[in-house]
């Protein structure tokens, strides 16, 4: 009889504890109980898809459930972002997104999601080595010579991008603004098109990590990289900072969840991402796409997004950048 009373008391206390913890905590304790969907808002094959699949593969085992990548491309990533924003905040839908989706696009046009209100940042995953690449016969081999050339004939030099207001466009504008030079922007419909015209000598510059292979093949020359450290595949190419140009550049990929996702789940995913990005072979795999591991926890990542968003909003307004 006494044993039955004790058992009943323990059960009551456990039920009380779960009730006090609230439904969110109870959900987090049971999570994950089924596969997790990771939305990548771009087509298969690109750097975003590569990063998404790497993360999915690395965290599936530790979480005990398959993380399945779902490519939801279209409308400049807005379709995938909207799908994630409208999903239940139960930890079973995640979004991989770059700087543009969360800190740039909504300053340029109306989008069907709110970067600040619809999502909670989980962690930054990686950042890019943006290469300042020039046609191989451009009479400039470093940033100082490029600046001198641009000042000699303002507006004559051209730089291509993957499209107006993309990171490849804004990176160039940031550098030119800091250097006090005028370079004519030529927007394309993607990085591959701008790269092809640069190799063909039809434009003078691009600010894009996609240039790595052509630089290594000798078809282009690298004048610098915008990252804090030198590109490991181009160790002889100095950073912009080393060349006296304080110009923030590059972009990140990060993981997000719908707003309202329990913090226990957010922190658990962040912890697994941190371990994943520090695991053997990850750095070597990312560098093939001019990326490097760059983990920041939910708080640090949220602060970085606010800083980036304010920076790009000011830049876009100051330069009068518009999209059609």
Residues 119, 42, single domain; the answer is: yes
Residues 114, 68, single domain; the answer is: yes
Q: What is the mean pLDDT of the chain?
A: 89
- In tens, the pLDDT along 155-208 reads 999 999 988 888 889 899 989 988 999 999 999 888 889 999 999 999 999 999
Half-sphere exposure for 184 (CA within 13 Å, toward CB): 10
Angle ∠(313,203,309) on CA atoms, nearest 5 = 10
Interatomic CA distance for residues 38 and 54, integer angstroms: 11
Residues 148, 230, single domain; the answer is: yes
Interatomic CA distance for residues 38 and 97, integer angstroms: 10
Q: In this structure, is residue 273 part of a structural domain? A: yes
Query: What is the extent of the structural domain holding 203?
Result: 131-243
Higher per-residue confidence, 93 vs 192: 93
Residues 135, 238, single domain; the answer is: yes
The model carries a pTM of 0.80
Domain stop point among 243, 261, 291: 243
Residues 148, 202, single domain; the answer is: yes
Domain stop point among 243, 266, 295: 243
Residues 271, 308, single domain; the answer is: yes
Q: In this structure, is residue 287 part of a structural domain? A: yes
Domain stop point among 184, 219, 243: 243
Interatomic CA distance for residues 129 and 136, integer angstroms: 20
pLDDT higher than 70, residue 149: yes
Q: In this structure, is residue 21 part of a structural domain? A: no
pLDDT at 20: 46
Structural domain count, the chain: 2
Residues 274, 236, single domain; the answer is: no
pLDDT at 72: 93
Q: In this structure, is residue 18 part of a structural domain? A: no
Q: What CATH number corresponds to the domain at position 65? A: 3.40.190.150
Confidence of residue 301 (pLDDT cuts 50, 70, 90): very high
Q: What CATH number corresponds to the domain at position 152? A: 3.40.190.10
Q: In this structure, is residue 186 part of a structural domain? A: yes
């Amino acid at each position: 009889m006494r044993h039955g009373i004790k058992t009943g008391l323990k059960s009551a206390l456990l039920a009380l504890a779960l009730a006090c913890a609230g439904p969110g905590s109870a959900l987090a304790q049971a999570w994950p109980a089924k596969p997790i969907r990771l939305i990548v808002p771009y087509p298969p094959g690109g750097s975003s898809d590569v990063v998404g699949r790497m993360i999915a593969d690395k965290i599936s085992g530790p979480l005990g459930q398959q993380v399945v990548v779902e490519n939801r491309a279209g409308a400049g990533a807005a379709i995938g972002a909207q799908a994630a924003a409208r999903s239940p905040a139960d930890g079973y839908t995640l979004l991989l997104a770059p700087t543009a989706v969360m800190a740039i696009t909504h300053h340029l046009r109306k989008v069907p999601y709110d970067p600040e209100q619809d999502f909670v940042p989980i962690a930054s995953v990686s950042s890019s080595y943006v290469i300042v690449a020039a046609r191989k016969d451009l009479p400039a081999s470093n940033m100082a010579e490029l600046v001198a050339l641009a000042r000699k004939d303002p507006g004559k030099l051209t730089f291509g991008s993957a499209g107006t207001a993309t990171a490849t466009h804004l990176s160039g504008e940031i550098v030119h603004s800091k250097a006090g030079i005028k370079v004519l922007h030529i927007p394309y419909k993607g990085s591959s098109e701008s790269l092809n015209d640069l190799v063909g000598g039809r434009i003078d510059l691009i600010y894009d990590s996609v240039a790595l292979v052509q630089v290594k093949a000798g078809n282009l020359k690298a004048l610098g990289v915008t990252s804090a450290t030198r590109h490991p595949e181009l160790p002889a190419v100095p950073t912009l900072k080393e060349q006296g140009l304080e110009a923030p550049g590059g972009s990140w990929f990060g993981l997000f969840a719908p707003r309202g996702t329990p913090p226990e789940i957010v922190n658990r995913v962040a912890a697994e991402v941190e371990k994943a990005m520090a695991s053997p072979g990850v750095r070597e795999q990312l560098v093939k796409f001019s990326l490097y591991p760059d983990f920041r926890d939910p708080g640090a990542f949220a602060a970085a997004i606010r800083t980036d968003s304010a920076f790009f909003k000011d830049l876009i307004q100051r330069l009068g950048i518009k999209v059609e």
